[in-house]
Amino acid sequence: MDPDTVKSTLTNLAFGNVIAAAARDYKKELLTQEKAAQSSSINEEVDLDELMDDPELEKLHADRIAALKKEVEKREAWKKKGHGEYREVTEGDFLGEVTGSEKVICHFYHKEFYRCKIMDKHLKSLSPKHIDSKFIRLDAENAPFFVTKLAIKTLPCVILFRQGVAVDRLVGFQDLGGKDDFSTNALEALLIKKGIIAEKKDEDDEDNVYDESKRRTVRTSVAADSDSD
């Protein structure tokens, strides 16, 4: 074998050894990265477990559950008093209705007046959204005593009661632009401004209670296993 051939063979062998070494180093690097990733994942899991066992977080969670359950109980009590719907009441029921709830919205109406029907439509739409207030209607023709007592001269007339006391009123559509085409949102904003209804929350409290309770149950189980005039 001539010297040039020998030299070429040795060169090729050396290059092959370099490639093999580089491949081994690359493989080692991949294994190292994989082990580091696994270690990081384990640490994250440990940190999460520690967070879940944090007594302060547990207390916040328990307080949240208690507050939501209290809110649900309050809503149920309101429903028993007739909140959450727009109801017809009689003159005989009127005093009991307005004194039985903290906030009451009563529409004195006439069945033949077009504007009274418009007001009915909007109040009916608002009643289930604002369960903290009671929405009722009373036929003015059948309630002459209270029409006189409350000095009602124009219909529709919506009187706002707080703890049984008439604190404000909407006469006709004067506060709603004086036109028939006002929106339910406009009436809602006016009632909020007058403080007889509260701004509606985005979340459904009852659903939140059930969701929170469900999550807590699962978590505990896991912990154990490991018109006009």
According to DSSP, residue 199 is labeled: P
Same domain, 99 and 176: yes
Look at residue 165 and tell me if it is in a domain.
yes
In a 13 Å sphere around the CA of 114, the CA atoms on its Cβ side amount to 3
Instruction: Show the CA angle centred on residue 114, arms to residues 109 and 119, nearest 5°.
Output: 55
CATH number for the domain harbouring residue 184: 3.40.30.10
Note down pLDDT in tens along the chain; length 229 residues: 555 554 555 455 455 555 666 666 766 776 777 766 665 555 555 555 666 667 777 778 777 887 778 778 877 887 889 999 999 999 999 999 999 999 999 999 999 999 999 999 999 999 999 999 999 999 999 999 999 999 999 999 999 999 999 999 999 999 999 999 999 999 999 999 999 999 876 544 444 444 554 454 444 444 444 454 4
Q: What is the DSSP string of 51-90?
A: HHT-HHHHHHHHHHHHHHHHHHHHHHHHHHTTTTSEEE--
List the one residue out of 112, 139, 107, 147 whose CA is nearest residue 124. 107
Backbone angles phi, psi at 9, to 5 degrees: -65, -45
Determine which helix (DSSP H) or strand (DSSP E) holds 134, and give its type and residue range: strand 134-139
How many structural domains does the chain have?
A: 2
pTM: 0.62
Same domain, 101 and 190: yes
Look at residue 47 and tell me if it is in a domain.
no
CB 229 within 8 A of CB 110: no
Look at residue 88 and tell me if it is in a domain.
yes
Look at residue 174 and tell me if it is in a domain.
yes
Boundaries of domain holding 123: 84-194
